[in-house]
Amino acid sequence: MTPGALTEALAVPATSLSFHLKELTNAGLVSQERQGRHLIYRASFDQMNDLLAYLTENCCQGQACVAEADASCAC
């Protein structure tokens, strides 16, 4: 999708979307292709699935990732 279409579909300000697309592109989670004057962004599902698999295995250990609140926290 183009950034304009993404902005409309997600109801996200263009400046915020631009920042996030740049970071997602740098992380390899989306790809960017130029078609004439337009940039087209595509999700890299293989990369996203690999990231989720890694996080599930190494962070969550196969369990739901829910942080429990610390009772001593004075937040």
**Per-residue buried b or exposed e for 17-39, using 16+ beta carbons within 10 Å of the residue's own CB:** beeebeebeeeebbeeeeeeeee
Q: What structural domains and CATH numbers belong to the chain?
A: 3-58 (1.10.10.10)
Residue 51 has pLDDT above 80, yes or no: yes
pLDDT tens readout for residues 9-19: 999 999 999 99
Instruction: Look at residue 58 in the predicted model and tell me its pLDDT.
Output: 82
Task: Work out the average pLDDT over 60-66.
Answer: 66
Residue 55 has pLDDT above 60, yes or no: yes
Instruction: Look at residue 64 in the predicted model and tell me its pLDDT.
Output: 65
